[in-house]
Structure 1
Amino acid sequence: MKFIKTLSIALFLMFWVNFSNAQFKTIKTQNGLISGFKIGTVNIFKGIPFAAPPVGDLRWKAPQPVQNWLEVRKCTEFSASPFQANPTPFYCWTEEFIAPPKPLSEDCLYLNVWTAAKTAQEKRPVFVWIYGGGFSSGSSACPIYDGEEFAKKGIVFVSINYRVGPFGFMAHPELSKEQNNVSGNYGLMDQIAALKWVKENIAVFGGDPNKVTIAGQSAGSMSVNCLVASPLAKGLFHRAIAQSGGMLSNRIPTSLNDAEKMGETFQKKANASDLSELRQKSAEEILKISQSSGLRMGVTLDGYVLPTDIVQHFKDGKHNDVPLMTGWVTGDAGLIPNQGLSAEKFRQQSTDKYGAKSEEYLKLFPANTDDEAKTSQSRLSLLSFAALSSHLWAGYNKSQSYIYQVSHVPTDKPDFPNYGAFHTSEVPYALHTLHLWKRPWQDHDLVVENLMSSYWINFIKIGNPNGKNLPEWKRYTKETGVILEIDKETYQRPALLKKEFDLLESL
């Protein structure tokens, strides 16, 4: 009788787990069972670990494997955001755009999944979102990064955390010595570890590991560019969306040698005799030293995660060539401080830098008056930050590429400063999360949201943004230069910026 009772309980538990898996109340990942929660048709799992906590001796090391667990792990809340300066609203970014102020922790390597799949056999396309924040801030827990709406449209939505600031990007000779002659880029390695987790686990959420799109904005866009360049990320994704940022036209990446020198300077500022002593300092101390020293750490061209010459790498076709959708918002120009040169000084600088080509340069970027010089410098900032990199990347790509420009200005709150089509403003339109951004939305905002999110979803599903009831969006080539202008009215603009691109590329 006791045996029959025990067998009955075992059969019931087996049935319950299998039934739960079918309904996604619990999921069996490679590290153990997890449980989430459900809103309508969407199953949501938050705070799933994809790497061991990078603390103690694991600070400034490549992400290590997760330790398996035996009990069902409850995954219903976002994990802590990466350790960073206390996130507060500023400029045009309100609380919907920034990391929650608490909790912050070095123990941050977790991801989140939204899926409306009913079984593990559906093989839905997968979208992996990488946040921005200048490689010094950010979090997957930002409200506008919610994945519910995409999940309703048949996408398995994944958002990930990665280390930022000195925790994610410090290089140092001692670190290089213990890590096969390279260091830094830990934040990028976190992203690669998350993509490996997706490849190994996403099928049980109803996702297709062979149909993964990586996407990001600002530093997230630069991260996408880096992942496309990295030999370590080969085969982990199949499409790429890069919004407002790239590595092919700016001076953000640094050499390993220069990055190591910055790490040595950091150590001196910290009054630490060696790496071991530096690892013993608290996260608060590390952050304080970073802020007071003015050292800004970011991506390193280390010859391991990234090639030492990223532009030549793309020119040679050695990158992970996948279908690409990329672009910018017109307000991205404000991300690079304007030099503030007078017309006279701007013209002189042009002559000094470009010699015989300065006449052609000043025709495209005129400076007959100080106001005209200011406008030209603003246009050059936009081109340098995002547009030129998009043009170069698409030109090196053999797979189909699509380029957009967002000019749409979000409806403001009453008595709220109008910042125009500001940096990041397109994200809630593309991710269909306007309802999570508190504004008095007008019909034209909802039209742009439906249009942008439809383009994004089509691209995620088939590698082409075009679809029924959408304005046509032609592939980008250097010859035609067709760019999709997204505004209250959306239309194609052949050869937009073509002369500027051709000239800057020749320079």
Structure 2
Amino acid sequence: MIGRHKGKVRAWMAAAAALAMLAAPATAQKRGMVALPGDPVETGSGKVAGTQLDSGVHAWLGIPFAQPPVGANRWAAPKPIRWQGVWNADRKGPECIQVLRPHDINHYFGEEATSEDCLTLNLWAPADAGKGAKRPVIVFIYGGGFTIGSSGMANYDGEAVAKAGAIAVNFNYRVGAFGFLAHPELSKEQGGHSGNYGIMDQIAALRWIRENIAQFGGDPDRVLVMGQSAGAFSVASLIFAPEAKGLFSSAVMLSGCNYRTPWPTLESAEQTGLRLQERLGAASLAKMRDLPADRILAVQSENQVGARVEGIRIGGPILDGKVLPLQKDAALKAGALARVPVIAAYTSDDIDIAMSPLGRITGLADYRAQAEKLFGADAAQFLKLFPASTDEQARAAAREAARAQGFVLAARQCAVDQAKLGQATYIARFSRHHPFRPGVAIVDVDPATIGAYHTSDVPYWLGTLDAYNSLRPTRDWTAEDRALSASMLGALIAMAKTGSPDTPALRWPAWSVRAERQLDIGAAVAVTPLDVKRIEWMEAHPLDRIAPAGVRSHPID
């Protein structure tokens, strides 16, 4: 197999290049590179050459932004990378090692190679955005519960963003045990802290973008960082991370603006790391680093994309004392977080409903019984705020209550905290249903009942509607869907450019204490008031979240 690197590089770079060829979809394999005027681009890591897509967009795909996190670099902070010669960046790199996806699920867009050697980014630019063009930059961070996800997925592609006039970037970060393992031996090795390697990867990628994006026509001072689900939780973590300060100027969190939920402590995460070591039967950290990656993956808990592994649950940011030095409440009190405008959005049938005990109400009798069980003496107040007299009304009221205590509450809390920092928050509720093709069979969703599901807004924001028909027809997109997507993408670019998503095509006022409003994006688009009374009541009566009943109707990423 022929590697893509033409310069004098280390053997592992050539191997990574060969593996990336395997990761490319069949369509990319069939066309060679189309040379770009002005290439190679000189970056701080070395020279890169990209390719022109059929749309005319210029793309540099699979650029390494850090050394491969393998060998001694497994469970270590990402290290800067340099190469000699020209890196041919014409195809996406492998996803960070994780379980692979069945082919009959909603979010299958083609087989991807998976590897520990995965710290690469993809960059798309308009054809006329040469060096010094200072276009706004949109950086997308994938979700997946911090155990799966990939920048190579077609629904996260940046080509449409570039066609609309901005620079688009996405990147891989380590997930699961490889991205978030904390362990006493690691903490001793790393100055008293461990874990959060995936967040460090994100910071390293943003730093690379900051240092190099001007060479591709981007403005390093107008960088919007955007994430969905675990990607949104990542963005929130970056807002609280001192090392990420100054690396972005605005933020978007889809289904996961969270300024209040505490991070797990280093001590508790270290105990989880010790349990993983015990399950692996490894005598030491050195022995754990010697294990093949699939052995570690095999004992990691996973309940997404059809996987059912009851192992050790590792994934997500922790209060490590370095990357995240302060708990959220302390950081908010001290004002020790990034001061940037944000968009906080959620979907009307989001996963927060499935994670609430109210999301499983079967009828009126069940609804009333659960109200008594969950709220005790306050059950009458609850039933007055969320009234129902039929089975159908009971199910709808229960879902509305679950929603009021889920992502809409989190979005409002973010807005309240942002206001104290003097920063704007724009809240959106996405309620448009995908137009599933009649009779289409998708194993993990029921098109008849799925609604505006968790992640259903992503292709509208990024202009990737057609990705869902790339392998088999599943949606019958309408002209209205495409027009709405164009308006949402335009709002996103405006946010990156000016700090506000308000545009002539999508009028969007900021939330304020005097006018608690959101943009409702559904069959029609309208500015609607938040139901503050219900939200505040549910905030005062917190319920424990529960694991979703399977993943059939709520794909995680």
Q: Distance in 2 between matches of 1:338 and 1:392?
A: 18
**Aligned with 1:192 (options 199, 203, 206):** 203
Q: 2:407 corresponds to which residue?
A: 386
Q: Distance in 1 between matches of 2:210 and 2:403?
A: 35
**Aligned with 1:53 (options 68, 80, 83):** 68
Structure 2 segments unaligned to the other structure (5+ residues): 1-33, 302-308, 441-446, 470-474, 542-557
**CA offsets 1:91-138 (integer angstroms, 9 cap, x no match):** 6x2323xxx533100101000110124421111111111001110100
**Aligned with 2:312 (options 261, 275, 295):** 295
**Aligned with 1:501 (options 535, 544, 549):** 535
**CA offsets 1:123-160 (integer angstroms, 9 cap, x no match):** 11111110011101000011111111211222111111
Letter in 2 for 1:400: A
Mapped contact 2:143–2:228 kept (Cα < 8 A): yes
**Aligned with 2:214 (options 197, 203, 227):** 203
Indicate whether 1:322 and 2:340 are aligned: yes
Q: Structure 1 pair 467/446, CA: closer, same or farther in 2 (3 Å)?
A: same
**CA offsets 1:7-51 (integer angstroms, 9 cap, x no match):** xxxxxxxxxxxxx99934321111111111012442100011111
Mapped contact 1:62–1:186 kept (Cα < 8 A): yes
Alignment coverage as a number of residue pairs: 477
Indicate whether 1:35 and 2:49 are aligned: yes
- Residue pairs, 1:320-359, within 5 angstroms: 320-333=338-351, 336-339=354-357, 340=360, 342-352=366-376, 359=380
Q: Distance in 1 between matches of 2:481 and 2:265?
A: 43
Indicate whether 1:236 and 2:257 are aligned: no
- Residue pairs, 1:401-480, within 5 angstroms: 401-416=425-440, 417-418=447-448, 419-438=450-469, 439-468=475-504, 470-480=505-515
What SS does structure 1 have at the residue aligned with 2:247? Answer: coil
Q: 1:16 corresponds to which residue?
A: none
Mapped contact 2:434–2:452 kept (Cα < 8 A): yes
Q: 2:96 corresponds to which residue?
A: 82
Q: Distance in 1 between matches of 2:104 and 2:353?
A: 14
What SS does structure 1 have at the residue aligned with 2:496? Answer: helix
- Residue pairs, 1:7-406, within 5 angstroms: 23-39=37-53, 40-66=55-81, 68-89=82-103, 93-96=106-109, 100-116=110-126, 117-248=128-259, 250=261, 253-291=263-301, 292-297=309-314, 298-333=316-351, 336-339=354-357, 340=360, 342-352=366-376, 359-366=380-387, 374-397=395-418, 398-406=422-430
Q: Distance in 2 between matches of 1:388 and 1:499?
A: 11
Give the CA RMSD over aligned residues: 2.3
Q: CA deviation at 1:259?
A: 1.0
**CA offsets 1:303-357 (integer angstroms, 9 cap, x no match):** 32224421342354321010111110112146643434633542233335xx5x5
Q: Structure 1 pair 299/374, CA: closer, same or farther in 2 (3 Å)?
A: farther
Q: Distance in 2 between matches of 1:181 and 1:348?
A: 47
Mapped contact 1:128–1:158 kept (Cα < 8 A): yes
**CA offsets 1:195-221 (integer angstroms, 9 cap, x no match):** 000111111001111111000111111
What SS does structure 2 have at the residue aligned with 1:34? Answer: strand
Q: CA deviation at 1:222?
A: 0.9
Q: CA deviation at 1:53?
A: 0.4
Mapped contact 2:138–2:493 kept (Cα < 8 A): no
Q: CA deviation at 1:55?
A: 0.6
Q: Distance in 2 between matches of 1:147 and 1:387?
A: 28
TM-score of the aligned structures, taking structure 2 as reference length = 0.81
Letter in 2 for 1:95: Y
Mapped contact 1:24–1:205 kept (Cα < 8 A): no
Q: CA deviation at 1:445?
A: 1.3
Q: Distance in 1 between matches of 2:351 and 2:394?
A: 14
Q: Structure 1 pair 210/300, CA: closer, same or farther in 2 (3 Å)?
A: same
Q: CA deviation at 1:293?
A: 4.7
**CA offsets 1:478-503 (integer angstroms, 9 cap, x no match):** 33210100012101002x23113323
Q: CA deviation at 1:254?
A: 1.6
Q: Structure 1 pair 256/250, CA: closer, same or farther in 2 (3 Å)?
A: same
Q: Distance in 1 between matches of 2:211 and 2:203?
A: 12
Structure 1 segments unaligned to the other structure (5+ residues): 1-19
Q: CA deviation at 1:385?
A: 4.2
Q: Distance in 1 between matches of 2:312 and 2:514?
A: 41
Q: Structure 1 pair 268/375, CA: closer, same or farther in 2 (3 Å)?
A: farther
Q: CA deviation at 1:431?
A: 0.7
Q: CA deviation at 1:436?
A: 2.5
Q: Which has the higher helix share?
A: 1
Q: Structure 1 pair 336/189, CA: closer, same or farther in 2 (3 Å)?
A: farther
Mapped contact 1:338–1:377 kept (Cα < 8 A): no
Q: 2:554 corresponds to which residue?
A: none
Mapped contact 1:46–1:111 kept (Cα < 8 A): yes
What SS does structure 2 have at the residue aligned with 1:474? Answer: coil
Q: Structure 1 pair 414/367, CA: closer, same or farther in 2 (3 Å)?
A: closer
Q: Distance in 1 between matches of 2:215 and 2:252?
A: 25
Mapped contact 2:228–2:256 kept (Cα < 8 A): yes
Q: Distance in 2 between matches of 1:84 and 1:263?
A: 18
Which moves more between the two structures, 299-308 or 271-280?
299-308
